[in-house]
Amino acid sequence: MRRVLFIAYLFPPIPNSGTRRSLAFANQLPDLGWEPLVLSWQPDPHATLDPELLTEMRPGTRVERVPLQSRDRAERWLGWLPGRWRERGVDALAWRLRERATVPDIAASWLPLAVERAVQLHKEVGFDAIYASGWPWTAFLIAREVSRRTGKPYVIDYRDQWTPSGDMAWELASPLQLRENPALERLAARDAAAIVTVTRTLVHSIGRDCGRDDLHLITNGFEPRDFADEAEALDDGLLRVCYTGVWRTGYGLEELYAAIRLLDERGCPELDRLRVETAGFEPGPAAQAGVGRWVREYGPVTHSRAVQIMKQSDLLFLPVPQGYYAKASLPSKLFEYLACGRPILAVVPEDSEVEHVLKDVGGGVRVDPGNVEMLAQALLSWLRGTLQVPPAQGIERYSRAATARRLATVLDAVADGRTLEPLR
């Protein structure tokens, strides 16, 4: 059994879509000859956590949690304060220290303590390779420095694109980051033994940004056991549309709500049977959009609850972000939707990553983003029972076991010093 230093800032109990990819790899790698030694962030006391995620970790997984240096210093410097004064003082000082180190990202102050702990672990138990998942991109710089100090090769895994696309509202980068990060990215990529990312579009764009043409494609996936059992049927005559995920600028349910409103304005009686059930964002948008009669917004829920909502639905709604990621993204929930065996109504562009998967395996229909009329007609056809969606076939290639096998293949090659043809 080989050992891999597994650098994952986002790891249980931190609820995040990035957490699920790292968790799945860490759970599967021991069956493929690799024992993960996880190096993760020690969450701040006020961080949002999901303890249920800890129950999904493979028993025996070793996780070393390292705080940000900003938090560590604040606690050491102000540890003498009494009670609530200490808590408030530490929070305030940790925030100020963190804001002083933001290159390449807000996790920059994780690097010093994470590197030292990783080097210590190498002396204590050793490891044969290093894997780092980003965002945050600081993880890539940690991997490079640990590799330099231990002589072990490292693999970096881009869940997104480091270089901002320029048209996504949540891609916030300071002038200093925009100036410094390109050189840091090229440095981390230059010395990496292998580079992995999640979509074909990102293979090309990240390769262009970092000056390499040998990136490996390993998509996100699903855990079959999460979908092995059917949820209890809701025999009330209603037809349920489900969406699970975040809602942020340029990525949400605006078009679905607009389509429902349009059908209501036209007096479609079929709407009486419609229910939309959502989870993952704070309730409120449905009421603001005037469609609260048909929509139930549960708010943030655990992953197991989200899966249950999917299973109890009749149709799964899949939007993608506006802008660059409309074509480049391949949301993790696409694969979980496919595993549910329910038809997918995808609001995605033609020739997008999502469309390619749906053409490959079936299981969904596509509607052009921005075409509320087309979406309303698709929704009405489904309510009337005339929308035909071929069942998905061959989705096993997207199981977590299958994607982990691809990662193990990459780790085997870099640990052996072999050149591996890019996985596509």
DSSP β-bridge partners for residue 40: 65
Q: In the sheet where 2-7 sits, what is the strand order?
A: 62-66, 34-41, 2-7, 129-134, 154-158, 194-197, 216-217
Write the CATH number of the domain with boundaries 226-394: 3.40.50.2000
Calpha distance 294→316 (Å, rounded)? 15
User: Which two structure tokens, joined as six digits, stand for 421?
Assistant: 């043809």
3-class secondary structure, 218 = coil
Q: What percentage of the chain exceeds 90 in pLDDT?
A: 79
3-class secondary structure, 216 = strand
Write the CATH number of the domain with boundaries 2-221+400-416: 3.40.50.2000
What is the separation of C-alpha 41 from the centre of its chain, rounded to a whole number of angstroms? 17
What is the average pLDDT score of the chain? 93
Residues 6+ apart with CB under 8 A from 202: 158, 160, 161, 328
Domains 2-221+400-416 and 226-394 are alike in CATH topology: yes
Q: Which residue has the higher pLDDT, 45 or 10?
A: 10
Confidence of residue 168 (pLDDT cuts 50, 70, 90): low
Tell me which DSSP letter residue 15 carries: -
- pLDDT, one tens digit per residue, over 241-255 is 999 999 988 899 999
Residue 166 has pLDDT above 80, yes or no: no
Confidence of residue 169 (pLDDT cuts 50, 70, 90): low
CA atoms within 13 A on the CB side of 398: 24
For tokens 């979980």, name the residue.
Answer: 336
- H or E element at residue 365: strand 364-367
Residue 341 has pLDDT above 70, yes or no: yes
Residue 6 near residue 22 (C-beta atoms within 8 A):
yes
- H or E element at residue 296: strand 295-297
Residue 366 near residue 358 (C-beta atoms within 8 A):
yes
Residue 422 near residue 376 (C-beta atoms within 8 A):
no
User: Which two structure tokens, joined as six digits, stand for 417?
Assistant: 């010093």
Confidence of residue 198 (pLDDT cuts 50, 70, 90): very high
- Where do the domains of the chain lie? 2-221+400-416, 226-394
DSSP β-bridge partners for residue 161: none
Q: What is the pLDDT of residue 86?
A: 78
Calpha distance 101→263 (Å, rounded)? 51
Q: What is the pLDDT of residue 78?
A: 86
Q: What is the pLDDT of residue 94?
A: 82
Q: Is the dihedral of CA 384, 385, 388, 389 positive or negative?
A: positive
